[in-house]
Amino acid sequence: HLSQSQQLHGFCDAGCGGVGGDASSRILVKGGTVVNAYHKEIADVYVEDGIIVDVRPNIMVDDEVTVIDATGKYVMPGGIDPHTHLAMDFMGTQTIDNFFSGQAAALAGGTTMHIDFVIPVNGNVSAGYELYTKKAEKSVMDYGFHMAITKWDEQVSEDMEVMVKEKGINSFKFFLAYKGSLMVSDESLIYGMEKCKSLGALTMVHAENGDAVAEGQKRMIDLGITGPEGHALSRPPVLEGEATARAIRLANFVNTPLYVVHVMSIDAMHEIAKAKESGQRVIGEPVISGLSLDDSWLWESDFITAAKYVMSPPIRASGHDKVLQNALSSGILQLVGTDHCTFNSTQKAFGINDFRKIPNGVNGIEERMHVVWNVMVESGQISVTDYVRVTSTECARVFNIYPQKGAIQPGSDADIIVLNPNASFEINASTHHSRSDTNVYEGRKGKGKVEVTISRGRIVWKNGKLNVEAGSGRYIPMRPFGYLFDGIEKKDAEYLSSLRAPVQRFKASA
């Protein structure tokens, strides 16, 4: 519910310190419980010019400083969403949230940074980067980019190098599904993994077997199943498990770390658990829809209600959600994304006669922080510190921007939220900030509300009001060779030395 003038200029009735509260360069967040990923304490947080300057009890300031009373509340790093699709051209249309509306929604929900997937233009990586740089011009908060790789050739390989060395990208996503559009072959995946490894960039996979999905879809159509339930039936968990296992084994073969996006099933989670057990570096990202919803909605008789739950991999049968929660609380899965990829009712209706044409994707960028709090912390499954780890800090570590992001400590960017554990949230399409007319969390209520969001030292959300400015968001470059790469050369050396004997035997016999 942002008006056009709000879209162009932002708006400033947030009561956040009078004239130009948004411009207030000095803020004191007073008396709250400051929570980091591994520690919490009651302290004040003092911010100057977008940076956290001091964190300790009883900080004294002059009258010019904007003071936010956080007594009895949690003061935490703003959420970082590792997985979004804003203004993405997909399945014959474009996601309804762009870098303005999607980010405004994020800020209203306590997320202060996201990493979006650049989609190459007809496979062209550089063109994709240019296009997304334009798309992101109206940004109202900080953001970074992953790059998708949708074909393989020498140019793509060279462009990947440019992306890492000059453009601040340190992760590349390979789709093993979406046959005929984004999907790549195992051959391309292997070349891509080798290139990623040489650049110190993280390989990410969308893990579903796209060939089998196409076959499953044909099966449903032949049976006359054309509604949204056909989407889930055509791509069962076994296809997610297969692709996850395959990607993990290929990453093992290449000896490079792997990040599995949107882990939606027990099957995929088990493959990640097994890999971790054997010492392989695999990061599993559940998304909030997979952690908190089940597929019963897909059987709703009202098409639009059912279609809004269509995403890939599908939201699974009841039971998968709880096991994914367990995996998150025990560390098998490490950080939570959204896969925010929103289409409105009109767009979802493209598939009214054929589920294969329903644009895939659900909302979540505004809801993630509240739903994770509700499902994981309120239920007692994770601690408040773990909440910060899975919603913010771990993402910053994996993508090598910690502690600029993901921490409340001197020197970090002032991306801060104040969460009141005793206030309540309620989610409705009529009050959310996404441009979509529907919400997959419609009617969900719970305790724990983000009351204040500070984005790089600007109070952007307070008293239920947004105060954002188009163009104020910054691109955050991410450096290669994050912690996941530490020591992998030792395993390479071990492998090479294991080949010495067979090579010598070969030479001797030649």
Residues making contact with Zn ion (CB under 5 A): 12, 14, 16, 21-22, 206, 339, 467
Which of Zn ion, ligand URP, none binds 438 (CB below 5-8 Å, type-dependent)?
Answer: none
Q: State which residue, 361 or 480, has the beta carbon closest to ligand URP.
A: 361
Nearest by Cα to 310 from 298, 324, 325, 294:
298
CB of 165 to ligand URP, least distance (A): 26
Nearer CB in complex with ligand URP: 206/444: 206
Judged by beta carbon distances under 5 to 8 A according to partner kind, the member of ligand URP, Zn ion, none in contact with residue 209 is: none
Q: How far apart, in Å, do the first and last CA atoms of the chain sit? A: 75
CA distance 367 to 370: 6
CB of 384 to Zn ion, least distance (A): 28
* Residue closer to Zn ion, measured from CB, 361 or 480: 361
Q: Which does 467 bind (CB under 5 to 8 A by kind): ligand URP, Zn ion, none?
A: Zn ion
Report which of 406, 410, 408 is spatially closest to residue 394, judged by C-alpha positions. Answer: 406
Q: Cβ-closest residue to ligand URP?
A: 360
Q: Which does 16 bind (CB under 5 to 8 A by kind): Zn ion, ligand URP, none?
A: Zn ion
Q: Which does residue 21 touch among Zn ion, ligand URP, none (CB within 5 to 8 A, set by kind)?
A: Zn ion
Name which of 2 and 131 has its Cβ closer to ligand URP: 131
CB 97 to ligand URP: min, Å: 12
Q: Are the CB atoms for 240 and 272 separated by under 8 Å?
A: no
Nearest one of 14, 11, 30, 78 to 457, comparing CA atoms: 78
Interacting residues with ligand URP (CB under 6 A): 85, 206, 311-312, 339, 341, 360-361
Say how far apart CA 91 and CA 258 lie, in whole Å: 27
| CB distance 99 to 130 below 8 Å | no
Which among 102, 139, 116 is positioned nearest to 2, based on CA atoms? 102
* Alpha carbon distances (Å) from 146 to 120, 121, 203, 205, 481: 11, 15, 10, 12, 15
From the list Zn ion, ligand URP, none, partner contacted by residue 394 (C-beta under 5 to 8 A by kind)? none
**Cβ distance to ligand URP smaller for residue 101 or 312:** 312
Selection from ligand URP, Zn ion, none that 361 binds (CB < 5 to 8 A by kind) is ligand URP
Position 95: which residue type?
T
Report d(CA 80, CA 336) in Å as an integer. 9
12 contact, one of Zn ion, ligand URP, none, CB 5-8 Å limit per kind: Zn ion
Least Cβ distance, residue 312 to ligand URP (angstroms): 4
Q: Answer left, alpha or beta for residue 319, where phi above 0 means left and psi between -120 and 50 means alpha.
A: left
Q: How far is the CB of 243 from Zn ion (least distance, A)?
A: 11
Beta-bridge partners for 27: 47, 66
| Three-class SS of 61-83 | CCCCCEEEECCCCEEEECEEEEE
In the complex with ligand URP, the residue whose CB is nearer, 177 or 376, is: 177
The distance of closest approach from Cβ of residue 211 to ligand URP in the complex, given in angstroms and rounded to an integer, is: 16
Round to whole Å and give the CA distance between 159 and 182.
18
Q: Rounded to the nearest whole angstrom, what is the least distance from the CB of residue 117 to Zn ion in the complex?
A: 6
- When the beta carbons of 98 and 360 are compared against ligand URP, the nearer one is 360
311 binds, among Zn ion, ligand URP, none (CB under 5 to 8 A by kind): ligand URP
In angstroms, the CA 357 to CA 178 distance is 12
Which 8-state DSSP code applies to residue 340? B
State the nearest-atom distance from the C-beta of 265 to Zn ion, in Å: 14
- Neighbouring-strand partners of residue 340: 84, 362
Q: Residue 119 or 454: which CB sits closer to ligand URP?
A: 119
